[in-house]
Amino acid sequence: MASVIRGIDGFDSSNEILIAPVFKAYKNVNQTLTDLTWTRLAFEVTEFDSNGSYNTSTGKFQPDIAGYYNIGACVAFLSGSFRAALSSVFKNGVENSKLAYCYSTTSDLDDWAISASTLIYLNGTTDYCEIYAYLTGGGVTVNGTSGPEYTTFFGHLVRAA
């Protein structure tokens, strides 16, 4: 539920300040990806989550305030060799925005990470976001054991609707 800070008298709604949803979650377990398949990434630990909008069990960010959100992730691929790796924000189970795309003409990519974000409108009731990854090449995992700074999922309200 959205929180507000009231004016000095506790009743003056003209002085209310919205406590906007903001969260950051990270992986603490490596996750193996299946070749040529979009895989939802699990972010098992929340570093912070102001409104309880991120669910570590489902990997979904589902805020209770309608508006425009900055949603992003850093996905760190490690081990194995791959030719291409992608990460995307999925909204309501459908790809919405590519965050990263890395490609090589040979199968020599390894230990690659990038962070990016995008703006997405979420309706505050049923809309949710998840992070997915895709690759060509086998034996690749998403880094979850090197620390909370490697593979993260984050977001915050930019403007309420």
Q: What is the dihedral of CA 37, 102, 114, 146, to 10 degrees?
A: 60
Confirm whether 12 is domain-assigned.
no
Amino acid at 159: R
Confirm whether 94 is domain-assigned.
yes
Confirm whether 6 is domain-assigned.
no
Structure tokens at 136: 């060509």
Confirm whether 145 is domain-assigned.
yes
Mean pLDDT of 15-19: 64
Pairing outcome for strands 31-32 and 3-5: unpaired
CATH number of the domain encompassing residue 72: 2.60.120.40
Residue predicted with more confidence, 63 or 35: 63
pLDDT at res. 54: 98
**In the structure, what pLDDT confidence band is assigned to residue 147 with cuts at 50, 70 and 90?**
confident
pTM of the model: 0.86
Domain count across the chain: 1
Q: Tell me how far CA of residue 87 lies from CA of 44, 95, 106, 123, in angstroms.
A: 18, 10, 20, 23
- Other residues' Cβ atoms within 10 Å of the Cβ of residue 37: 10
**In the structure, what pLDDT confidence band is assigned to residue 5 with cuts at 50, 70 and 90?**
very low
Q: Tell me how far CA of residue 17 lies from CA of 12, 20, 50, in angstroms.
A: 11, 9, 14
